[in-house]
Amino acid sequence: MSSGEVSEYNDTLFGGLVISRTKNLSRPFSGRILRMVVVTALGAGTLAAAVATAAADEVRPMRPAGHPPLVIGTTDNRLEYVYRHTSRWLHASVDGVGGAATYRTIPSHEDVGMNNASVVETHDGSLQLFASADGAVWTTRQQGRNGEWSGWSLLGGNSYGLPIAVTRGKNEALSLFSTGTDGTLWTSSQRGPSEPWSSWVSLGGTRLTSAPSVGRGAGDALEVLVNASDGAVWKIGQTTGGGDFGAWQRFSEPGFTDGYRNDPQVVTRSDRSLEVVLRRADGTIATRRQARPAGPWQDWETLAGHTGSGRPAVVLEPNGMLTVLSVGSGAKISRGRFGVDPTATAGWDDLGQHGAPLAGGNDEIYGAGLANGTWAAVYLDNGGALAEVDSGGGDAKDATPPQQAPKLRDLASLQAEHGRSGTYAEGQSTSAPQKSAAQKSAAQKSAAWTPPDFKYDHFTFEQCRDPEAGAEPPGKIKNHYSYCWSGNASISYKTNCWVLLCFGRRVVYLVTVIGEGNTHFRESLYRVFLSDFEDVTPADRLIRIKVEMRCDSLVQPDDCKPESGSQAERSIADWETNDEARMKVVGAEPPVAEHNPDRLGYGNAWVHVTATGPNNSRRELDTPKNRVRFDSADYLKYNAFTGGQGAIFPDVNAVINFPVGTPEFAAMQASGLHYEQAMERPGETYPRVAGKSIPGAVGGSPLHRLYYDTDRRKENRATANAACTTELPPGEYPKPDHQCDEYPFATTREGASATYNPLRNFSVKSILGDDNEAAGTWLSAWYSYDRIVDGDPFYVRVTL
C-alpha cells in the first residue's frame, strides 16, 4: 500500500484474512517542510484501514522533540510504532490499541533520518523500512514476522526529492514512487517478493509538488496520484498489473488543492474499486470514486458539514464506512463518518483531547489506524507533546455518530434486488392440519386438498451462535422470516501508559442477532444475545454494554423505525445472567398510490452496540444491515396463518417447494412432475419448440407474481388451453376428469400469453383435475404464507 492509501482489499490471504500495507514519509521541498505519517491497521481478520496525514509550515518543521513515529497496523492485529530518538532507531509492537508492547532496536544509521521514512508490511508479514540520506534510498527489514531487524542496505538514487510511496502490486512485489526535485515522478520496483530492485526510472510529469499516493486497483494495476504546483491533481496508471504506465491525466481542475500539501489519499475497497479523499484549497474535504473496479471515475463530492486545515486522516471501517479525522476550528480534531453516499453526512463531532486545542495552531495528525475494530490517532497536544486519541480510550469522548440515512430509492429497483444474498430459501416447516374424523371424511368425499398448517423454521440461538466467526461474518437467512448474524466484539481499556505505549486489557464477547418476520403486522422482531465473555475479571464485569435497534428508511421517510424502547443497557455481570434483549423495527403504512398499491416499505435494520469501560474507554459496533420489507397487501389473507399486513426479509431468493414424494403433497404429484420436466427437460414438453427454455428453476431465471393485471392472467390461461386443445397428442385433451395444466403458472408474468411470451417458452400437460387443483391451492396458500406480492420474484423446487 502506498503513502496515503487506505485499503480494504484482499492484498494477501492468510486463512481468509486480508492484509494491508502503508508507510510514513516527509521531505523538504522548496523551502517548505512536508511531512506525512501513514497508519494502517487490520481488525480481526478484515482489512481495515490505512490512514495518512500531512502538514507543512512556511517557517519551521512542525515536529515534536525527537521525531514523529511511523505507525502501521499488521495482519495479526498489532500496531507497529517505528521512531527515532536522537540517533537511535526504535520499534515498539503493540497488541492492538492500548495493549501490551514488545520493544526492538533497529540498527542505527547516522545519515538516515525520519524526515523521509516509510514502512510497509511485506508479503510474509515482516516489516520493511525505507529512509533517505542525501537523495539516496536506504532500507532495512525484519527477519520474518515479528523478527529482529537487519542492517541497512543502499537502494541507490541521487536526485529523488522524496517522500517515497510504497505499495505491493503484481506477484506481491513492492514498488516505490517518489516526487523528484525536478518535479517529475520516479519509480523503482521488484519483479517479485524479496527480488532485486530495478534502477530508478522517471515516469514524467510536470511541476509535481506533493507526496505521491498509490492505489492497487483491479487486476493489480497501480494508480498514482500527485498534486502539481498549480493546485491540480494528476493521475498516471498501469495499463495492466505489473505492466507499463500510460499517459498522465488531469484528475482535477487547477486550484483544487494548494499544490504543496494535502496530497490525495487513495482508498482501495474490497472489490478493488478506488476512492480518493483530499483537502481542497477552500478547506472542505472532497472525495471521488470509481463507479466500479477499473471503471470510470464519478464526479467529486464534498463531505458536507466541515471545513478545516491540514491533511485529513481517513480510516476505512470494516463495514465500509469512512471515518475522517480533521483539524477544524479552534485547532480541535473533528470526526465525521460517511457511507456510500458521501453527501449524506452522519455528522461531525469534536475529538480533541477533552476539547483541548492542538499546540500552536498545529493542524497535523501524525497518524490514525484501526486494530481489532478500535481506531487510534497520534497528534501533538497543547503542550507540544505527542498524544493519542482513540475510539476505545479515555480521549474518545462520545459515541460514534449514527450511520447516515441513504438517499430514498424507487420501489422497482428494491424489488429487483430481492434475493441479493444469492441464497435460496430452505423448505418451510409444515405439518398436516389437525382434522376431526368428520372433517377427514368430508375431505375424502370431496377429494379436496387442504394446505398444511404453516410455520417457518426460525433460527435458534444455538443454530445462530458462532464463536469462531471471523471479522465481518455475513448474516445467514433461511427464508423470508428467519435471519441471523453472529460475530465477535471486544473492548480494550488502558490500565497504564508510558508516553504513547499503553498497557491494558481486552474483553472479547459474542454478539448474536436473530430476526423474525411477521405474517400479520408491519413489524419485525430482533432477538439480541450477548454471550461468551472470555476470561473476565471482577473489574471487567462492571463494563456496561448497550444494544440499540436502528433502521434506515429506503422509500418513504417513515418506512422503518425502531419501536419505542428498543434498546437495553446492562453490565457484563447482568448480561451473563440475562443474555437476551428483544427489540423491534416497525414500518409506517403509507397511503395507497398507483405505483404502490400494496403500500410497500423497505428498510435496512441493524443493531448498534456500545461498550463503555474504565477510564471512559468506549468501543462501538454496528452489525451488518439486514433488509426488511413491509406490506399491507390485503389479498394475502388466506387463513388464520396470514393477515393483511406483514414483514419479510427479502434478501433470500423465495422458493415454493413441491415435495411430491411426501404423503402431505402426494395429491399434486403429476403437477410437480410436470413442473420438473418443464424446467429440466423443456424439449420434451408441449408445444414443441426448438431451443425452448422455461424459467423458474433454482439457480436459473425466476418467475414473477402477476396479481393486478387480470387481463394478462386470463390471456395466460386462454393461450395455455388453446395449446392443450391443438398441440397435445390425440386423446390427451380434452379428456374426462382431466384439466389443462400450464407452467409457468398463469399467475406469473412468465405465463403462456402470446403477447408477452411470443417465443412460447411454456409447457402444457393434461393431468387429473384433482391433482391440478391441489397444486393450485398450494400455490395460492404459499403466495400468502411467503407474502409474495405483485411483481415479486420466486423459484420452484420439486422433490420426489
Q: Dump pLDDT digits (tens) for 330-378.
A: 777 788 877 655 554 456 777 654 444 564 556 667 666 666 666 777 7
| Mean pLDDT, the chain, whole residue set | 79
For residues 742 and 26, the model is more confident at 742
pLDDT category of residue 85 using cuts at 50, 70 and 90 = low
* pTM beyond cutoff 0.85: no
CATH of the domain at 80: 2.120.10.70
Confidence tier at 31 by pLDDT (50, 70, 90): very low
**pLDDT of 398 above 50:** no
Is the residue at 126 inside a domain? yes
Asked whether residue 508 is assigned to any structural domain, the reply reads: yes
Higher pLDDT, 471 or 109: 109
* pLDDT recorded at residue 2: 38
Which string of DSSP letters, residue by residue, matches 372-389? TTEEEEEEE-TTSSEEEE
Domain boundary among 648, 668, 686: 648
By the 10 Å C-beta count (0-12 exposed, 13-18 middle, 19+ buried), 239 is classed as exposed
The count of other CB atoms within 10 Å of the CB of residue 423 is 16
In a domain, 537, yes or no: yes
Q: What is the pLDDT of residue 496?
A: 64
Residues in CB range of 444: below 8 A, 6 or more apart: none
**Quick check: 160 pLDDT over 60?**
no
**Model confidence at 411, in pLDDT bands (50, 70, 90)?**
confident
Say which range, 75-79, 231-235, 540-544, 781-785, has the weakest mean pLDDT: 75-79
DSSP structure string for 572-608 = HHHHHH--EEEEEEE---PPPBTTBTT--EEEEEEEE
Residues 577 and 673 in one domain: no
Question: What pLDDT was estimated at residue 368?
Answer: 66
409 in a structural domain: no
Contact in structure between 541 and 572 (CB atoms under 8 Å): yes
Do residue 132 and residue 73 come from a single domain?
Answer: yes
Examine the domain organization and report whether 13 and 147 are in the same domain.
Answer: yes
> Of 34, 19, 25, which Cα lies nearest the Cα of 176?
25
Asked whether residue 637 falls in the same domain as residue 731, the answer is no
| 362, 390, 418 - which closes a domain | 390
Are 473 and 381 members of one domain? Answer: no
Query: Structurally, how many domains does the chain consist of?
Result: 3
Are residues 564 and 664 located together in one domain of the fold? no
Together in a domain, 658 and 547: no
Q: Nearest Cα to 318, choosing from 492, 535, 469, 173? A: 469
Whether residues 752 and 641 share a domain: the answer is no
**404 in a domain, yes or no?**
no
- Domain co-membership, 209 together with 286: yes
Question: For position 587, what pLDDT does the model report?
Answer: 97
pLDDT at 16 over 80: no
The yes-or-no verdict on residue 780 having pLDDT over 80 is yes
Of 272 and 562, which is predicted with more confidence?
562
**Domain-embedded: residue 556:** yes
21 pLDDT above the threshold of 60 = no
| pLDDT band per the 50, 70, 90 thresholds, residue 707 | very high
Same domain, 614 and 700: no
CA-angle at 738, arms to 733 and 739, nearest 5° = 80
* pLDDT tops 90 at residue 584: yes
Q: What are 207-236's pLDDT values in tens digits?
A: 998 888 999 998 899 999 999 998 999 999
pLDDT at position 438 = 42
Q: Do residue 621 and residue 742 come from a single domain?
A: no
468 & 518 share domain? yes
Domain span at residue 617? 458-648
Flag whether pLDDT at 627 surpasses 90.
yes
Tens of pLDDT, residue by residue over 521-570, are 999 999 999 999 988 999 999 999 999 999 999 999 999 999 999 999 99
Among the residue ranges 228-237, 435-444, 733-742, 759-768, the one predicted with the least confidence is 435-444
Mean pLDDT: which of 31-40, 107-116, 492-501 is highest? 107-116
Last residue of a domain, one of 349, 371, 390: 390
Strand runs (DSSP E) across 254-405, as ranges? Answer: 265-268, 274-279, 285-289, 301-302, 309-316, 322-327, 333-338, 348-350, 365-371, 374-380, 386-390
- 557 in a domain, yes or no? yes
85 is a domain residue:
yes
